[in-house]
Structure 1
């Protein structure tokens, strides 16, 4: 992932630390930062340690200063390819063992690659720290002996599948790639995609990859960052033991900053399988941490940073676009100023007219200038997002690693606050004049297939053909032998497991029969509140599905006292959020605030909750945007699969057969009076529950929530379900997506609803070896062995009244049949042969150790409390689950499998190119039904 996408994301990911919020009783000059220890091993490895004993977990990050910018023309995708290869075992770690060991420890792990760096990270209970250091050091120093041609070919297929799933088979998936090709000259480190070109991946061999590893993955080009419940001295000793003997790699110099300039604008048109025409202007600017980065970020926020922005007013409120935004994503070597909009084809389908609106907005900004509220909003958002970033050890570790890698200084928290606080109105206007006004840009039009007349009417720029040089033979990079003082083949022992208990919480009532659960925690000066009203979309009339969702969206708009822009401005200046949404079984109101601003934030909540204006203009705008968004969703293969699955399982007589937001037809039926009636009938606390977590005592919470006592109760009933469709045997439902390079497959049936300690809980235990984790049978077969997919799984998903069992993934179109056959075979074999002793032991270990990670953040604590309320559970349910896990036998697991795995009765839903797929699927011997998921 690229580091920054505009000011909002930049602030969210770069500002972390330990702070006391500014306020009447706080030191206004207090510096905010992350306490850490930094040192360097003799081999050049930089080590950063951060101690946080609030939860019994540790987060370990290894960041290598190598991304796609270190590649050369014709050999793109190496850094990302190596992200995959680093999980395929090393000299002392077997293939797939890294995933298995972290999963068995109850931990999480992954890796990411962007233009400038690659990182690998794990979060585990604290007693597994030594084991993770052993794993990470082994792949740093001993990866290549385990790299084989077979693994290389397998991961090449996996990367190609990932590209197909995330880029080639997604609407607008080529947007960034085409923009970079036009913006940067050939050979520029950002002119090719991080994931690489398929032809480049096909061109190289295993020796090329080995040479790339030897060049860039030495300890002197890495930062090891460890945070959490650690003993500093012991951690230093382990780091020295496991990483100290690894020799330095070749010396690495920073790449020169390479911002680009354009002599004239470049206009591109891309035809895609989309409904909404798309326009993007991209201006080259500076580089990350350049003095002008901060004012450019502020400029982006003023122009297109939400409801308070000029873009929102001119393009979204006017109905010309479904979405419009401005951002300033920055990378190590160069930044881009991006303006983008999804056109509303019912109002402004021609992108040439929209392009003129962009320029009119620039002219308006020049006349308007920078207003005081603009800077106040930005600076308050920095303070709020800084404080919220303190909630996770992983976030703090990630930012320490970022600061060290790119600035040579781990803790950039105060420096970032200072540089944004220093931005003036004059700075913003200066960077606008310098980098944007009358400057050339890359202008990309994405239009529906065969509708190029909708594009910006300018001479088209042709992206030059790639000039691939002849490559010399791979140059061998010498490696110094590693001499250890210990037996590296021995897996380090685990320490004593931490004792984890569920969060202490208090319980009371705000008004009769409305429970309020809370957790008081002073780790960060933040408060999160949720009010859940049961019913949500289930209360929609069947012919007006989407009414609950539309009502929630209207609750986010104007009140009788203030416009939606005024409300958005007030919330931004508080650094707060008040958001209404409706999904699943609930309408939910989410509130987040730093502690000192909670009273003012709750005043806005009450204004929104009790005084919605329900303006015709707001309704018409939201309805049109939603209708266009629904039509666009029908171009997304995963959305089509989800829509088909619900319709097939639950039938047209049931509300649950349709998306939360409704369909084009049902949403068209909704009028403003329907919204008003829904609010009047169902926005009351008859079936409400409230959860509050953060830096707030019970007594203060009750006092601040006292206005809810005036909320009148009006009982209502949630409609019962109509009869669900019954099928004697499983069928194939084929949804056509012409030209799809992948097929989305779901093998599915209805199953039981959620329970905490009964049949559903045991079913999830049973499924764990089959498809419930990375090393499960289904994923290892279809991803790691066959190379048909980027990932495949199976799962039970249950709510309060309904549940499903499903398996599937996104598969190469030519391998659709084989993929389905393998899923069915894995199910049948598991049902027949049962769980192995090794799988049972692995299951018990993974499920019993992961609770150390379950309650770290306020959001996790809030999820736990909502779970208790929704399912009417006592907090001791987790102890009951632990007893079940510890005592369950293979025989019990196998009985559950025999009862619940019925592959012959499961429907097979396939979204892909029907013309090519239908002959394949006929070999399954099942009835094939063409299903229209777009209605």
Structure 2
């Protein structure tokens, strides 16, 4: 129910002062019955700030989101990347918050935070315990109204380097990382707001100065261009009062008008291309479509699903199923000003993209003959409903939804309209939008080919970007003045926090079936869904009995996602989609996971499908041949990716020859070639057993109701599965550098560490995690502040202990600028050595205790979080009071204990240092360090001679 209100909000005098009475309550939305709605109250402050409050007392957490209606679309030619650059600068301190204090304050409060930028908006958000509400709002207000004097040239330069590192990591150095940039600049006219990407161009980042950035802020970051959304364990009147106190006096910025749609127009197909360091060529066809919110958007979404999403799609059948490609998909992506319908195909190596384009066009013609079915519409509607419900699993999800709808639809309750749009889509609508936007229409056709393989292009480039007709935008930045708020209180004083909220650990029930299956469950009524996770122990570790067939656990899990005795893979997927459910089977290093997600109303039908998938696999030769080929291609593709190379080589050195954990979970080309279909059947029949399995269930269902539905699991026959003894791991005699050459890599991947200890919830492993927090476990850790914030070498650096049942490594890692590789190794080792010798400071100890101690409020909010928590309890046989014991350890651990742990668990003279980078760039400086340098190939085998020290 919606109540529209045009008068000033009426509150008691004790809640709001006369000066604050200018805040107007615009509307109040409540839930009626079981309707899908997010209740909220919407207010407008005198300075134009929109405030939305969602009250939800189910968990003692609060999510604060400030969304500014400014993204890269508000930028101008030659000054790209500003909105994203400012996302970084907004974390660099303001008048009353010191440099890097924003992360520290929120982390110390037990919260988490971040910011994101896209074409159309920038948002900043925190999830904190409910007693930290005032602190979160104080922080956001300070950077809205008191930022610019704190933006120094030095901070500007450091963050410019950080943004460059981000571009290097996520665009320039990532396979296919420039696809979006190439598509955008060739799809839209020169100067169109979408013709550049959010990250911007390096030359623009190099050209701008700090004053350009400040003017951008003054133009777009006023309260009148922002929506403040607060949700969770709050009272609306309290939020209104805090909003008025901290945001109310900030002056409005220049007026901002919504931009009008600017859909791309093409007169013919535009063929463009580039070469990349990839194994698979890529064909990307992009057709212009209308903007987000357009009446045709839902029908285009259905069309994308029919053409290229899931196993029932035409592109899956014609490309993946027929072994013409490793991947083929279609999507309709919409933004505020325009939309893009994209078709992406990655054919197998050596395939001409001209052939790929021909088959893609034949697939479109096939749709014309096939048409749209009732089941197509049913699948789309069921999945859309499920998606909307699952977005409400967390306060942050609900707040983000309200903020999005307010910013782009001027209606926080647009979820009702979205449901109507989804439910009203017809078969005729889908056919119409195909005819209108795709059939016979021109597209940007991008070819991405491996370096030196231009013979694979779909066609030679036929389009050159022209500046003809471009008119520079009118100046919007001259004469802008920075005016600060005038307050009647001391804004420099950080708000008090009040007592920590009482966090209730989820109550749960446990049982064990006669066949040995362990079951743990917790009831959660917040959304009408059920989440199930079945863990079957073994996974990759079982391959120690057959190392010459490593990768069989992964291949077996893949086969279980294919045909069953009563359904083809496509039929099975169709049944799941009609329910809005999912069943996924994956294999990891120590377990095979079966993950089930279902709406409560469809649980029985979903469990019937789970029984079919788990116990009646068909294991056809056709499916086996296709999945084996895909697995082999994936292994070969990893040899082109620096991150995968670094991880695989690091593991091989850690675990050593003869240890199954030294081999990637997907296996190697040689081991996977050895696997037969009979091997897969035997692996399944021998190792999938309830006696080594655990089931976690979280959702809108009680234990009694659940157990009635698990009869099919009670009939699961147990087998005698024994975990193999894994070979001993090698000792590290001394710290050495192991270099893998990745020619011309713009960044280097670094891994530093050793094999440490197994997981222990209340022992040394848990304590070591506390010890590492100040070293490399938080944004404000020593390692990240040094390499990212102080030096600008990386987008992010970290360290962590990753212990499982059988142990795990301590690792420090980062992707760094190629020209700062040796310097980064030096700084890593300097921080590790300093911490190992001298330990933690009193300030760091206080910070760690506060941060981890208050973070419990965020641990059990969503079904997946609860499932993860319960999964650890059942896997490690933890007592019900283990959380209390952890809290006691945290509260009582001393500086002396931390120092002793650092001295013991950071053996800086006996660690591996793996570097994957461009040898000609990095080798000279690495050789100048104090460590022996050993060269390896991409599989971790020693080549050439070592450079000894």
Task: Calculate the TM-score normalised by the size of structure 2.
Answer: 0.94
Report SS of the residue matched to 1:835: coil
1:260: Cα distance to partner?
1.2
1:580 aligns with 2:582: no
1:601: Cα distance to partner?
0.6
String of CA shifts for 1:838-868, please: whole Å, max 9, x gaps. Answer: 1111111011100000000111111011101
Give the structure 1 partner of residue 573 of structure 2: 568
State the alpha-carbon separation in 2 of the partners of residues 783 and 384 from structure 1.
Answer: 39
Give the structure 2 partner of residue 687 of structure 1: 692
Give the structure 2 partner of residue 214 of structure 1: 218
1:345: Cα distance to partner?
2.3
Give the structure 2 partner of residue 154 of structure 1: 158
- What does residue range 881-892 of structure 1 map to in structure 2 within 5 Å? 881-892=886-897
1:802: Cα distance to partner?
1.4
Give the structure 2 partner of residue 513 of structure 1: 516
Give the structure 2 partner of residue 358 of structure 1: 360
Give the structure 1 partner of residue 487 of structure 2: 484
Give the structure 2 partner of residue 23 of structure 1: none
Report SS of the residue matched to 1:72: coil
Give the structure 2 partner of residue 742 of structure 1: 747
Give the structure 1 partner of residue 81 of structure 2: 77
State the alpha-carbon separation in 1 of the partners of residues 747 and 31 from structure 2.
Answer: 48
Note closer, same or farther for the CA distance 1:518–1:472 as it changes in structure 2 (3 Å cut).
Answer: closer
Give the structure 2 partner of residue 620 of structure 1: 625
State the alpha-carbon separation in 1 of the partners of residues 772 and 616 from structure 2.
Answer: 48
Give the structure 1 partner of residue 246 of structure 2: 242
Contact 1:90 1:142 in 2 (8 A): yes
Give the structure 2 partner of residue 894 of structure 1: 899
String of CA shifts for 1:516-566, please: whole Å, max 9, x gaps. Answer: 110012111111111111111111221111101100110010011110000
String of CA shifts for 1:273-313, please: whole Å, max 9, x gaps. Answer: 00011111000011111111111111111111110111111
Give the structure 1 partner of residue 775 of structure 2: 770
String of CA shifts for 1:409-462, please: whole Å, max 9, x gaps. Answer: 012212111101111111111110110011100001111100000110345323
1:924: Cα distance to partner?
1.9
Give the structure 1 partner of residue 676 of structure 2: 671
State the alpha-carbon separation in 1 of the partners of residues 841 and 362 from structure 2.
Answer: 67
Contact 1:211 1:476 in 2 (8 A): no
1:128 aligns with 2:141: no
Task: Name which of 771, 783, 799 aligns with 2:788.
Answer: 783
Contact 1:502 1:875 in 2 (8 A): no
Task: Name which of 484, 501, 505 aligns with 1:502.
Answer: 505
Contact 2:190 2:467 in 1 (8 A): no
Contact 2:287 2:341 in 1 (8 A): yes
Higher RCO by CA contacts (8 Å cutoff, separation 6 or greater): 1
1:33: Cα distance to partner?
1.1
1:595: Cα distance to partner?
0.7
1:313 aligns with 2:310: no
Note closer, same or farther for the CA distance 1:471–1:330 as it changes in structure 2 (3 Å cut).
Answer: closer
State the alpha-carbon separation in 1 of the partners of residues 128 and 769 from structure 2.
Answer: 22
Give the structure 2 partner of residue 412 of structure 1: 414
1:470: Cα distance to partner?
12
String of CA shifts for 1:60-80, please: whole Å, max 9, x gaps. Answer: 000000000000000000000
Note closer, same or farther for the CA distance 1:365–1:801 as it changes in structure 2 (3 Å cut).
Answer: same
Contact 1:18 1:390 in 2 (8 A): no
Give the structure 2 partner of residue 600 of structure 1: 605
Task: Name which of 360, 367, 370 aligns with 1:368.
Answer: 370
Contact 1:510 1:702 in 2 (8 A): no
- What does residue range 758-837 of structure 1 map to in structure 2 within 5 Å? 758-837=763-842
State the alpha-carbon separation in 2 of the partners of residues 548 and 808 from structure 1.
Answer: 28
Q: Which runs of 5+ in 1 are unaligned?
A: 1-16, 21-26
Contact 2:249 2:487 in 1 (8 A): yes
Give the structure 2 partner of residue 4 of structure 1: none
Contact 2:739 2:933 in 1 (8 A): yes
Note closer, same or farther for the CA distance 1:473–1:46 as it changes in structure 2 (3 Å cut).
Answer: closer
Note closer, same or farther for the CA distance 1:873–1:468 as it changes in structure 2 (3 Å cut).
Answer: farther
Report SS of the residue matched to 2:749: strand
1:534 aligns with 2:537: yes
Contact 2:76 2:473 in 1 (8 A): no
Number of residue pairs matched? 909
- What does residue range 9-88 of structure 1 map to in structure 2 within 5 Å? 31-88=35-92
State the alpha-carbon separation in 2 of the partners of residues 504 and 474 from structure 1.
Answer: 57
1:549 aligns with 2:554: yes
1:656: Cα distance to partner?
0.7
Task: Calculate the TM-score normalised by the size of structure 1.
Answer: 0.95
1:200 aligns with 2:204: yes
Q: Which runs of 5+ in 2 are unaligned?
A: 1-28, 941-949
- What does residue range 93-104 of structure 1 map to in structure 2 within 5 Å? 93-104=97-108
State the alpha-carbon separation in 1 of the partners of residues 204 and 249 from structure 2.
Answer: 35
State the alpha-carbon separation in 2 of the partners of residues 464 and 802 from structure 1.
Answer: 59
Report SS of the residue matched to 2:531: strand
Give the structure 1 partner of residue 451 of structure 2: 449
Note closer, same or farther for the CA distance 1:481–1:650 as it changes in structure 2 (3 Å cut).
Answer: closer
State the alpha-carbon separation in 2 of the partners of residues 277 and 257 from structure 1.
Answer: 33
Note closer, same or farther for the CA distance 1:534–1:147 as it changes in structure 2 (3 Å cut).
Answer: same
Give the structure 2 partner of residue 433 of structure 1: 435
Contact 1:137 1:242 in 2 (8 A): yes
Report SS of the residue matched to 2:802: strand
State the Cα RMSD in Å.
1.7
Question: Which of 650-659 and 267-276 deviates more?
Answer: 650-659
State the alpha-carbon separation in 1 of the partners of residues 929 and 462 from structure 2.
Answer: 48
